[in-house]
Amino acid sequence: MMPSANHSRPVYTVSGLTREIKTILELEFPLIWITGEISNLRTPASGHHYFTLKDKEAQINAVIFKGPALRLKFRIENGLAIVGLGRLSVYEPRGTYQVLFEHLEPKGIGALQLAFDQLKTRLANEGLFDDHHKKKLPSLPRKVHIITSPTGAVVHDAIKIIQRRFPNMPITVIPVRVQGDNAPTEITKALETLNRQKDAEIAILARGGGSLEDLQPFNSELVARALFASRVPVISAVGHETDFTIADFVADLRAPTPSAAAEIAVPEKTQLQQHCHELTSRLVRQISADTFNQRNALERLARRLRDPKRQIQELRLKLDEIDQRLLRVFQNRIEKNRLALHHLLARQSRIPIQGALQIYHNKLEQLNYILMNKLHLMINLNRAKNRELTLRMKALNPLNVLKRGYSITRSLPARRVVKTSATVAIDQEVEIQLSAGSLLCRIEGKLNHG
């Protein structure tokens, strides 16, 4: 306070009056609880949160600095009704008063529940819960990894169930804290360790039941993003059947309890063995039936298939028979013509006209000559055709082809004729038929000739 020159009345400067008001407010209202709705929220690079706290009739400026804000379990948002503990202060450069909050909590709902709902909504909007991101669990893993506390009952129950269902299943426990402020970091590091293991095929992230605060590590964004980034499928088994955490939504599968997760992770060995026996029996029966059917089909085809050599012999006999019949026909015709000639000669001897007889005799001799020439020509033509057919049949005889050094290759066991190297595989057995005997061989390699 600065007195005037005539010392008659007190006159304040702006800064002096503001300072007086600030002192009175801070002394009168050292710590207060205040409720209202957040609006006009601003968060600059400093990390402080500036906002307006209002109700239906009034509003007041407010701020919560970076340190207290980081300790909150939820995110500050516009429209959120809160109850906060703070103190009144005056911002002297502007001459405005404001509330400096030390603590905030949601009005009407717990901070942890609000934080859970906010994170769940945000991650769902990012697609971290979508089914197409879920990885398929192996039907029979080589090893099971369990991420949990090494001292709790959860790990012992899970190991007991896995060993009961599959006695020789390897199990690796990655120990972590499942409660407390350091738990999210340890769980994240455990998931990173899991993904560095070459033999990792499935993992169980587990802990027993508890309050919402106890399950908080599994509701952290750090663990959620580590689960989403894991290349190894993870079963989430956190709490009781009615408990749901963010980890349950992000994991590839959610189990109601850790014991249920152990049953999901590995099948029962005895059931697998029984199933294998059933499949083996069905396969043996099917192969036996197929072999029997194929053998019968082969025998039917073999009975229908005629021997080429026998067929050629039959055709040769048929040609000989045709040749003999043709000769007999021509011989009969010649004999008939000869008899007719003798008959004409006999009649001619009784006819006095010798000149006419001589003419007919000469004509008959000429016809006989022409007929004999045609007969020999037809016989030669038929013999040439007979030789040609015989040569063609010999050329078509597979046995003659084999005698020239060729062979027939059949794949085993189907006995199909091999025409190209693409129809057989390495180490497959084949049968090679030669002109005399057969060879049983195995394919060691293929040569491709252009």
Beta bridge partners of 105: 83
Cα(58)–Cα(27) distance, rounded to whole angstroms?
A: 23
Beta bridge partners of 84: 34, 104
Region 336-343: mean pLDDT is 86
CATH architecture of 2-108: Beta Barrel (2.40)
Q: What is the pLDDT of residues 268-320, one digit of tens each?
A: 888 888 888 889 989 999 998 999 899 888 888 877 766 677 777 778 888 88
Inform me whether the pLDDT recorded for 214 exceeds 80.
no
Cα(166)–Cα(358) distance, rounded to whole angstroms?
A: 121
Give the pLDDT of residue 135: 92
Residue spans of the domains in the chain: they are 2-108, 135-267, 271-304, 308-396, 408-442
Give the pLDDT of residue 82: 80
Cα(167)–Cα(162) distance, rounded to whole angstroms?
A: 7
For residues 196 and 349, the model is more confident at 196
Beta bridge partners of 53: 38, 60
Q: Which of 265, 50, 95 is nearest to 172 (CA)?
A: 265
Mean pLDDT (the chain) is 84
Give the pLDDT of residue 170: 92
Region 332-354: mean pLDDT is 78
Give the pLDDT of residue 110: 61
Q: Which long-range contacts (CB under 8 A, 24 or more apart) does 361-368 make?
A: 367/337, 368/337, 368/341
Query: H or E stretch including 410?
Result: strand 408-411
CB atoms within 10 A of CB 110: 14
Cα(194)–Cα(187) distance, rounded to whole angstroms?
A: 10
Q: What is the pLDDT of residues 147-193, one digit of tens each?
A: 998 888 888 989 999 999 998 899 999 999 988 889 999 999 999 99
Tell me the pLDDT band of 444, cut-offs 50, 70 and 90. Answer: confident
Inform me whether the pLDDT recorded for 2 exceeds 60.
no
Tell me the pLDDT band of 449, cut-offs 50, 70 and 90. Answer: low
Q: What is the pLDDT of residues 125-155, one digit of tens each?
A: 888 888 888 999 998 899 999 999 888 888 8
- Residue 393's region, left for phi above 0, alpha for psi from -120 to 50, else beta, is alpha
Cα(387)–Cα(215) distance, rounded to whole angstroms?
A: 101
Give the pLDDT of residue 403: 74
Region 404-425: mean pLDDT is 84
Cα(297)–Cα(303) distance, rounded to whole angstroms?
A: 10
DSSP 8-state symbol, 218: G
Inform me whether the pLDDT recorded for 103 exceeds 80.
yes
DSSP 8-state symbol, 421: G
| CB-CB contact of 375 with 334 (8 Å) | yes
Give the pLDDT of residue 352: 61
Region 76-82: mean pLDDT is 80
The residue to which tokens 């033509």 are assigned: 381
Superfamily name with CATH number, domain 135-267: Hypothetical protein af1403; domain 2 (3.40.50.10550)
Give the pLDDT of residue 252: 92
How large is the C-alpha radius of gyration of the chain?
A: 54
Inform me whether the pLDDT recorded for 109 exceeds 70.
no
Lowest mean pLDDT among 22-31, 261-270, 280-289, 332-341: 22-31
Chain mean position to CA 67: 50
Q: Which of 162, 327, 329 is nearest to 261 (CA)?
A: 162
For helices 354-396 and 308-349, give the axis angle rounded to 10 degrees: 180
The residue to which tokens 């000429």 are assigned: 366
Chain mean position to CA 110: 45
Inform me whether the pLDDT recorded for 85 exceeds 90.
no
The strand pair at 203-207 and 144-148 is best described as: parallel
DSSP letters, 72-95, are -SS---TT-EEEEEEEEEEETTTT
DSSP letters, 276-287, are HHHHHHHHHHHH
CB atoms within 10 A of CB 289: 10
For residues 440 and 5, the model is more confident at 440
Judge whether 2-108 and 135-267 match in fold: no
